Amino acid sequence: MSDADTPTDPDDAASDDAAEAAPRGDAALPDSDEEWRDRLTDEEYEVLRERGTEARFSGEHVDRDDDGVYRCAGCGAAVFDSETKFDAGCGWPSFYAADEDAVTLREDDRHGMQRVEVLCANCDGHLGHVFSDGPEPTGERFCINSVALDFDPADE
């Protein structure tokens, strides 16, 4: 039997296929939790909708140094430019600035810590947190989950 003939769990296949095929960018935002689950992978859903955190050094964008734009994985809104990315050594992609119109900041006191949460202003997806220990010119470190971001490389 070939891999193509190997039976799979139909629920897993449907979930993965829906997440990969779901339009982002200019598509209308989901109206329900069920629609978000159909649009996102399980990991994206956990981070973007349930305010989760991926494991340190596990994300695809941690070491990326290509020129381009980072977009919210939930809706496609541009949130960070690669020119503001730096290596903070923390295990998550770090940026010293965000597009101010593209993100919303709010106090986060979960887990017994005082932090500032970073959300996509378009879809309210949890991206990560911002700290005041970043480099100049802002002194800020936006510590963002890779799974919450899609990357569009710059045209060469």
Residue with tokens 């010119």: 137
Tell me the backbone φ, ψ of residue 13, rounded to 5 degrees. -65, -45
Q: Which entry of 72, 75, 123, 143 is annotated as an active-site residue?
A: 143
CB 9 within 8 A of CB 113: no
Q: Is 143 a catalytic residue?
A: yes
User: What single-letter amino acid sits at 108?
Assistant: D
Length of the chain: 156
> What is the pairing mode between strands 78-81 and 68-72?
antiparallel
Tally of CB atoms within 10 A around 129: 19
The runs of H, that is alpha helices, within the chain are: 10-21, 33-39, 42-48
User: What single-letter amino acid sits at 21?
Assistant: A
CB 118 within 8 A of CB 77: no
Catalytic residue list: 143
